Amino acid sequence: MIANISYNSKTYQIDLSKPLDISMPLRGDASNVNAWYVDHPRIDPHRDGDFVAKVSEGASINFNDIWFNPHAHGTHTECVGHITEGFHSINQNLKNYFFAAELLTIAPEKRGEDLVISKKQLQYVLGSGRRDAVVIRTLPNTKAKLSRQYSHTNPPYMLEEAAAFLAQKGIGHLLIDLPSVDREKDDGELLAHRAFWNFNGKIRKNATITELIFVPNHIKDGKYFLNLQVAPFENDASPSRPVLFEILE
């Protein structure tokens, strides 16, 4: 199905029948991706005394209880409420769901004991033209990311200067395949989060950060339209399903 999208005084065509899903599935076992020192997610049949809500156990329905943490267990989108004392909900702050986006592939560079994404790297790979969202795929990029156990591994992260650069460029939505834009153990400074949301100035309440995406290698760098689907949780973060669509013209 071909759709015409009007954006920035120009009309683009996308094929709605060819979505490129860049989210991670959620599995209820230890094979699921995990971060932040919590147990793996669980998806279990509801139990009430001797009753087990599972058809194979004699029930008429499958009726599962699900336990997970959106920040630790897969693709999630968060708003500034992630770092504020006052409550901010992703469900209230994100009101548009379709954006012009650019996909970039970056190999984080070595800085001491860390691997980081710098402002210079972003300046080098970021194209020209208008876009609302930037999607970052880091190298190496393998399916192992779908089940990686990130706790205590010091994964790559984004420098404060890089996040500030994106904010200055007017990028409202940052998507990345890492568990956080910040260093795993940073004494709570959260410098990249703060810079992207302009925390010490006029806070960008409508801006979002989406972490733990997975962009398969067959999807080429370039410009896309992004559909950012977020579960309507009244929480600072929600599980999400970002979907890219190629621009036909």
- Which CATH number covers residue 167? 3.50.30.50
Structural domain includes residue 49: no
Where are the strands (E) in 107-163, listed by range?
Answer: 109-111, 114-117, 133-138, 157-158
Those residues whose C-beta lies under 8 Å from the C-beta of residue 167, and which sit 6 or more positions away, are: 195, 196, 197, 198, 204, 207
Structural domain includes residue 169: yes
Q: Please tell me the distance from the alpha carbon of residue 68 to that of residue 169, in angstroms, as a whole number.
A: 34
Convert the pLDDT of each residue in 126-162 to its tens digit.
988 789 999 999 999 999 999 999 999 999 999 999 9
Structural domain includes residue 74: yes
Q: What is the DSSP letter of 108?
A: P
pTM, full prediction: 0.96
pLDDT at position 30 over 70: yes
pLDDT at position 5 over 90: no
Structural domain includes residue 36: no
* Segments forming the whole domain that contains residue 162: 2-27+70-246
Q: Please tell me the distance from the alpha carbon of residue 171 to that of residue 4, in angstroms, as a whole number.
A: 23
pLDDT at position 249 over 70: no
- H or E segment to which residue 163 belongs: helix 160-168
Structural domain includes residue 187: yes
Q: Indicate the number of domains in the chain.
A: 1
Q: Please tell me the distance from the alpha carbon of residue 231 to that of residue 78, in angstroms, as a whole number.
A: 11
Give bridge partners of residue 245 from the DSSP assignment: 225
